[in-house]
Amino acid sequence: MYRILEFLRQEKGFISGEEIGKRLDISRAAVWKGIKKLREEGYVIEAVTNKGYRLILHDTMYNEKEIAQGLATKKLGYPVYFFKETDTTNGRLRDIAAGGETEGAIAVAEQMTAGRGRRGRPWEAPAGSGIWMSILLRPNIFPSQASVLTLLAGLAVCQSIEEETGLTPSIKWPNDIMLNGKKLVGILTEMECEMQQTHFVIVGIGINVNTTEFPEGLMDVATSLYLESGRTFSRKNILQRVLLNFEKLYMELLDSHCSFAPFLDRYKEKCSTIHQEVKVLGKETFFAQAVDITPEGELVVIRKDNGKKEVVFSGEVSI
């Protein structure tokens, strides 16, 4: 595997799998296996049909020690549970939380084999390419207030990407982060609660950072910071920035008795959904014009079919 790495290092451009195989006297399948292993170690290797492979970045400085080092937060990120491979960080952290872990703990994975998306969809989370992180919170709030945490997580991630990369993503209500019309970040919030009491909340954040390719079918709708800018970024720096910004917003939220109102202007500034035509996929599916966000964080829309104003609480909006 490291001999393959040497070839990739020496080559300025692409080198085909066939060429590597010939020079090392191994099969193309063995080359592919080696590439896969290198990616799992954090090497970002681009693969292009008819061109071959190209080494882009060596981002191996991504483990629990590195993530904890230099973290400027007071609470979030203590401790870090780092998994080289796990099924889903949301699930792992849920188990950890059920065992009594304190607020602020995070679970981070290099690779997830069964990453969870919203509406029961899978989330692609290969090694060496993105930030797959879950954050444990134990806020004293009613379960019905928890959606505000999702909105704030979206805002924190959007701000952090802008600060770390200079790119300007936007929020698709409620909490997808988009760049040039494609999805860059997904957020999945899950909680353990009773009727009137929230035991804990897991905020799961997936950021496509150095992803060079997506499976067919996703290429048109998903993107990464690398694909949009041609540059690679340190996952550790972005992750630390997200924790810091999210912590600030979270503390402010607790101080404001969990009201979303103080964040409304900041959120609206980054939200690209307002004034767009949307498809609301709730109990009923309909087309509408998004016109505003309420101080509670809900989307105000005008239905296309009957011109009536409606407030969309959860559900999903597609543009």
Contact status: 169 vs ligand BTN (CB under 6 A): no
Question: Which residue in the set 45, 76, 90, 178 belongs to the binding site for ligand BTN (CB under 6 A)?
Answer: 90
116 is in an annotated binding site: yes
Site string for ligand BTN, 35-64 (x = CB under 6 A): ------------------------------
Q: 166: which residues sit within 8 A by CB, 6+ positions away?
A: none
To the question of whether residue 88 is assigned a binding role by annotation, the answer is: yes
SS (H, E, C) the chain: CHHHHHHHHHCCCCECHHHHHHHHCCCHHHHHHHHHHHHHCCEEEEEECCCEEEEEEECCCCCHHHHHCCCCCCCCCCCEEEECCECCHHHHHHHHHHCCCCCCCEEEECCECCCECHHHCECCCCCCCEEEEEEEECCCCCHHHCHHHHHHHHHHHHHHHHHHHCCCCEEECCCEEEECCEEEEEEEEEEEECCCCEEEEEEEEEEECCCCCCCCCCCCCECCHHHHHCCCCCHHHHHHHHHHHHHHHHHHHHHCCCCCHHHHHHHHHHECCCCCEEEEECCCEEEEEEEEECCCCCEEEEECCCCCEEEECCCEEEC
Question: Taking CB under 6 A as the rule, does residue 123 contact ligand BTN?
Answer: yes
The minimum distance between CB 131 and ligand BTN, in angstroms, equals 8
Is 117 annotated in some ligand binding site?
Answer: yes
* Cα separation, 156 vs 165, whole angstroms: 14
Nearer Cβ to ligand BTN, position 4 or 155? 155
* Residue 117 found at the interface with ligand BTN (CB under 6 A): yes
Nearest residue (CB) to ligand BTN, 89 versus 245: 89
Taking the least distance from each CB to ligand BTN, the nearer of 55 and 227 is 227
Identity of the residue, 20 or 188, whose beta carbon is nearer to ligand BTN in the bound complex: 188
CB of 202 to ligand BTN, least distance (A): 8
Q: Which residue is nearest to ligand BTN (CB)?
A: 186
Which residue in the set 39, 116, 235, 236 belongs to the binding site for ligand BTN (CB under 6 A)?
A: 116
Part of the chain binding ligand BTN (CB under 6 A), chosen from 70-78, 86-94, 250-258, 282-290: 86-94
* CB-based contact 207:238 (threshold 8 Å): yes
Cα angle 111, 178, 146; round to 5: 75
Q: Which is nearer to ligand BTN, 75 or 183 (CB)?
A: 183
118 is in an annotated binding site: yes
Residues in the chain: 319
Nearer to ligand BTN, 86 or 145 (CB): 86
* Contact pick of 5, 112, 238, 299 for ligand BTN (by CB under 6 A): 112
Tell me how far, at minimum, the Cβ of 204 lies from ligand BTN, in Å. Answer: 3
Q: Which of 5, 15, 55, 133 binds ligand BTN (CB under 6 A)?
A: 133
Lay out the site mask for ligand BTN across 206-245 (x = CB under 6 A, - = otherwise): x---------------------------------------
Dihedral angle over CA of 286, 291, 296, 298, nearest 10: 20
Task: Tell me the binding residues.
Answer: 88-90, 116-118, 183
Q: Which residues bind ligand BTN (CB under 6 A)?
A: 88-90, 112, 115-118, 121, 123, 125, 132-134, 176, 186-188, 204-206
